[in-house]
């Protein structure tokens, strides 16, 4: 009985880990979707987000899938990040600073345009 229960717990844990890291896993199997090396080299991306936000998760997945390096700050767990987020105008999450362009919400095309 314990072995069956342990297998179920391990399976659930595996599913959670795969879900949380899907963007990185997808990048391994689909490298053609990444942005150019030159674009990645000049990318300055800061993501203001929270753990629970669905659009924040989509944004992380998109950035990971495209191979775009970014720095993330959780505005609920980090007081300094919250101050910086508010200083930029706040107004919802996710909020990204992409090479000086502020982007609110999950906007893949806008993110790619700001990288160029």
Q: For residue 44, give every residue at least 6 positions away whose Cβ sits within 8 Å of its Cβ, in sequence order, or none.
A: 97, 98, 99, 100
Q: What is d(CA 10, CA 4) in angstroms, rounded to the nearest whole number?
A: 10
Positive or negative torsion for Cα 46, 77, 108, 68? positive
Look at residue 24 and tell me whether its pLDDT is greater than 70.
Answer: no
User: Which residues make beta-bridge pairs with 98?
Assistant: 45, 101
* Three-state SS at 81: helix
What is the set of domains in the chain, with CATH numbers?
Answer: 2-115 (3.40.30.10)
pLDDT in tens, 26-79: 666 665 555 656 665 667 999 999 999 999 999 999 999 988 999 999 999 999
pTM over 0.95: no
Window from 10-19, 51-60, 77-86, 106-115 with minimum mean pLDDT: 10-19
Window from 3-7, 27-31, 42-46, 106-110 with minimum mean pLDDT: 27-31
What is the arithmetic mean of pLDDT over 77-90?
Answer: 94
């Amino acid at each position: 009985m314990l072995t069956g229960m342990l297998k179920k717990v391990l399976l659930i844990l595996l599913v959670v880990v795969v879900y949380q890291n899907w963007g990185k896993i997808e990048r391994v199997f689909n490298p053609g979707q990444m942005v150019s090396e030159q674009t990645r080299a000049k990318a300055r991306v800061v993501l203001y987000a929270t753990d629970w936000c669905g659009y924040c998760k989509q944004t992380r997945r998109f950035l990971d899938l495209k191979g775009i390096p970014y720095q993330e700050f959780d505005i609920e767990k980090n007081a300094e990040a919250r101050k910086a987020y508010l200083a930029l105008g706040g107004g919802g999450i996710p909020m990204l600073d992409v090479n000086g362009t502020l982007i609110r919400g999950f906007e893949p095309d806008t993110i790619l345009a700001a990288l160029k």
